[in-house]
Amino acid sequence: MGVTLAGHQRKILSSIQTMTFRNKSTATVTF
């Protein structure tokens, strides 16, 4: 259970990082 939880947390972190990266890239493109 702990292992699956760690994997899920890692996936969430990676998805959040990609979202922030996309937002930053789009912001730089618009501005």
Q: Could you read off the pLDDT of 1-31 as tens digits, one per residue?
A: 567 778 888 898 888 888 787 777 766 665 5
pLDDT of residue 8: 85
Copy the structure tokens of residue 5: 């939880």
Predicted local distance difference test score (pLDDT) of residue 28: 66
What pLDDT, on a 0 to 100 scale, did the predictor assign at position 16? 84
Look at residue 18 in the predicted model and tell me its pLDDT: 84
The tokens for 14 are 């990676």
Query: What does the block give as tokens for 13?
Result: 């972190």
